[in-house]
Amino acid sequence: MENWTADIEFERIGPLMRLVKKFIFNPLANHLPAQWWRTWLREGQSELALANWNDPGGWRSMVISYEGNPEKTWDRMLVKGGTVPMALRNRRRLTARLCARLIDQAGHDPAHAMCLGAGPGLTIMDAMQAAKKNSFATLVDISSDAFDYGQAEAKRRGLADRVKYIQADVRDVKQMLDRPVDLVELIGICEYLDDEHIVSIVQALGTMMDPGTAVVFNSISDRHGTDRFFRNVFGLHMHHRSPEQIEALLKPAGFGEFRHFPEPLGVYTVVVGTKSAARKGIA
């Protein structure tokens, strides 16, 4: 599995820019009054700021960062040069590659991927296109806001008849399945959930996933150095956890054999876990 990701072209930050960020940009971002930042971003019509103010940690801000090519000056600086948006694009590449390989290894044909907190489902669509094997995806999100965007994107990529959107809370995941699942993707969601919420999701997954199937999730570390800015300016309250801390929440539900795939900026680690035989059918 380790060589699955060896040839991915990641975005990186050189040693000099790391120092400039650490000693100049990050302190300015974190310690200039939040009210100043909000005024500048509002007057500069920042779409990234507006997306976060409307829906902190929502799908729209993620898509702006993934696309990486916004129009407004502030957005260009934040999205192209910000450590977190760069790390998000690295996470997208990692997730797509790992999910594509897991689709290729799946026991069913077509393979079935379920994406929880999916937003429009861009990462799983990337994976479906990169995979050699045919696949189908069920995309679950509590908000249906992203579904029109996602369906248009699926159509553009020729995937319209291979994705199904469901508006629901991921904790009700068990009722949503109409076919066995080979792979569950939980990307970009654990950092917005408390431990109890994650446990309730993985308990539901533990009872419905077959032994040997895979779960793909991510951790986020505070190495980006701008948590104070995100909290005070964007209203984003992220839970920074190590991969091991999230794994400890998954293990009681029967998941193990965790493999870590850190992106090179040290912000996100994508983790692949496997459902073990022992706990199928608990609860």
Ligand X SMILES: C[S@@+](CC[C@H](N)C(=O)[O-])C[C@H]1O[C@@H](n2cnc3c(N)ncnc32)[C@H](O)[C@@H]1O
List residues near ligand X by CB under 6 A: 57-59, 62, 117-119, 122-123, 140-143, 146, 169-170, 187-189, 192
Instruction: Please report how close the Cβ of residue 63 comes to ligand X at its closest, in angstroms.
Output: 7
Q: How far apart are CA 147 and CA 165, in angstroms?
A: 7
Q: DSSP assignment of 144-198, as one string? A: -TTHHHHHHHHHHTT-GGGEEEEES-GGGGGGG-SS--SEEEE-S-GGGS-HHHH
Q: Which is nearer to ligand X, 119 or 254 (CB)?
A: 119
Strand partners, 113: 137, 183
Q: Which is nearer to ligand X, 141 or 227 (CB)?
A: 141
Instruction: Please report how close the Cβ of residue 85 comes to ligand X at its closest, in angstroms.
Output: 12
Q: Which is nearer to ligand X, 11 or 169 (CB)?
A: 169
Strand partners, 259: 272
Q: How far apart are CA 164 and CA 160, in angstroms?
A: 8
Sign, CA torsion 138/281/271/192: positive
- 159: its two tokens: 């995937």
* Secondary structure percentages of the chain, helix, strand, coil, to 5: 50, 15, 30
User: Cα-flanking dihedrals φ and ψ of residue 124, to 5°?
Assistant: -75, -30
User: Cα-flanking dihedrals φ and ψ of residue 4, to 5°?
Assistant: -60, -30
Instruction: Please report how close the Cβ of residue 59 comes to ligand X at its closest, in angstroms.
Output: 4
List, in sequence order, every beta strand (DSSP E) within the chain: 111-116, 135-141, 163-167, 183-186, 214-220, 255-262, 268-275
Instruction: Please report how close the Cβ of residue 109 comes to ligand X at its closest, in angstroms.
Output: 25
Q: Which is nearer to ligand X, 127 or 187 (CB)?
A: 187
Q: Which is nearer to ligand X, 104 or 169 (CB)?
A: 169
Q: Which is nearer to ligand X, 52 or 213 (CB)?
A: 52
Instruction: Please report how close the Cβ of residue 177 comes to ligand X at its closest, in angstroms.
Output: 15
Instruction: Please report how close the Cβ of residue 18 comes to ligand X at its closest, in angstroms.
Output: 25
Instruction: Please report how close the Cβ of residue 137 comes to ligand X at its closest, in angstroms.
Output: 12
Q: Which is nearer to ligand X, 111 or 190 (CB)?
A: 190
